[in-house]
């Protein structure tokens, strides 16, 4: 195994372990917040932060605006993953 490959594998392992440590508290916070939202409001369906990002991108008037809101460098990712509503077109007349 090459030296660059070995250090990359260790870096990826460390990143995964670090994210694993952070995942539990944030999931707990999100779970508590979602439970509170469902009990204290009229919301009846669970959703994730990814759903909120997709809603924001889908509600943006243009793909360029959606790309900027989500801070994507390339609009293709925004279009492929986050734009869930069909594009609206203004009539010519």
Which token pair is 5?
């490959």
pLDDT value of position 25:
58
> pLDDT tens digits for 54-85?
888 888 888 899 899 888 898 888 888 888 87
CB 57 within 8 A of CB 69: yes
pLDDT above 60 for 1: no
pTM to 2 decimal places? 0.52
pLDDT value of position 93:
83
């Amino acid at each position: 195994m090459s030296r660059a490959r070995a250090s990359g594998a260790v870096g990826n392992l460390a990143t995964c372990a670090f994210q694993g440590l952070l995942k539990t508290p944030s999931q707990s916070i999100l779970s508590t917040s979602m439970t509170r939202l469902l009990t204290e409001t009229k919301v009846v369906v669970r959703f994730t932060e990814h759903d909120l990002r997709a809603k924001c991108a889908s509600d943006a008037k243009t793909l360029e605006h959606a790309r900027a809101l989500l801070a994507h460098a390339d609009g293709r990712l925004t279009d492929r993953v986050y734009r869930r509503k069909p594009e609206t077109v203004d009539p010519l007349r």
